[in-house]
C-alpha cells in the first residue's frame, strides 16, 4: 500500500516512537494518546482490518500486545489496561491499516472507553442469537 502511513511507519520509512519491534510487528506510541503510554501494535504487512488479517497474524499481534502490556504494567505502574481494536468508520477506525490499541489506564484518568449498556428483551436477544447462528 503506497499511500498508507502505518505501512511507512511499520517499515521504518517514517520515524516513530517505537517501543517494540520484531520481524512482523512494530509497536509505536500513539501521537494522540488517550493516556500516558497509549501504543499501537502495527503489523509490518498491510491488512485493512480484522476481516482481512490472517488468523496467525492477528494471533501474533495479541501475543505482542501481551508482552508490551506486561512491560507497561511494570514500568508505568498503570492500574488497568484496555486492548481496543476498531474496524470500519462506524466503529471509529480512522487509519485503514489494522492496529491494536494498548491503552494503559490510571485511576481517575478521565477517559471513557466503555460503552453505554442497552436493555434488550429476552426475545430480542434470542432473535440476535438466531440471526448470528443462521437459524
Ligand atoms: P483508530 O481510530 O482505531 O483508527 O486509531 C488510529 C490512531 O492512530 C489514533 O489514536 C491516532 O491518534 C493514531 N495515529 C494516527 N496517525 C499517527 C501517527 N502518525 N503516529 C502515531 N499515531 C498516529
Ligand atoms: Zn498499511
Give the nearest ligand 1 atom to 5 CA.
Answer: 19
pLDDT tens digit at each of 135 positions of the chain: 789 999 999 999 999 999 999 999 999 999 999 999 999 999 999 999 999 999 999 999 999 999 999 999 999 999 999 999 999 999 999 999 999 999 999 999 999 988 999 999 999 999 999 999 996
- The number of the ligand nearest the C-alpha atom of 44 reads 2
Residue 29 DSSP class? E
Q: Which residues are catalytic?
A: 99
| pLDDT at residue 50, rounded to an integer | 98
- 3-state helix, strand, coil split of the chain in percent (to 5) is 30, 20, 50
Ligand 1 surroundings by CB, under 6 angstroms = 5, 16, 28, 30-32, 40, 86, 92-95
Cβ-based burial of 61 (10 A; exposed 0-12, middle 13-18, buried ≥19): buried
Q: What's this model's pTM, rounded to 2 decimal places?
A: 0.96
Q: Convert 84-100 to b/e letters by CB count within 10 Å (16 or more is b).
A: ebbbeeeeebeebbbbb
Place of cell 434470542: 126
Amino acid at each position: 500500500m503506497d499511500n498508507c502511513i502505518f505501512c511507512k511507519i511499520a517499515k521504518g520509512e517514517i520515524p516513530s516512537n517505537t517501543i517494540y519491534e520484531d520481524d512482523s510487528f512494530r509497536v509505536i506510541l500513539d501521537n494522540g494518546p488517550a493516556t500516558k503510554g497509549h501504543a499501537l501494535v502495527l503489523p509490518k504487512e498491510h491488512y485493512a482490518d480484522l476481516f482481512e488479517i490472517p488468523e496467525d497474524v492477528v494471533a501474533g499481534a495479541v501475543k505482542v500486545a501481551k508482552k508490551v502490556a506486561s512491560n507497561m504494567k511494570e514500568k508505568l505502574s498503570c492500574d488497568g489496561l484496555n486492548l481496543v481494536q476498531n474496524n470500519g468508520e462506524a466503529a471509529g477506525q480512522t487509519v485503514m491499516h489494522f492496529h491494536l490499541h494498548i491503552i494503559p489506564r490510571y485511576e481517575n484518568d478521565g477517559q471513557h472507553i466503555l460503552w453505554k449498556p442497552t436493555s434488550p428483551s429476552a426475545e430480542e436477544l434470542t432473535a440476535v442469537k438466531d440471526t448470528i447462528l443462521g437459524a
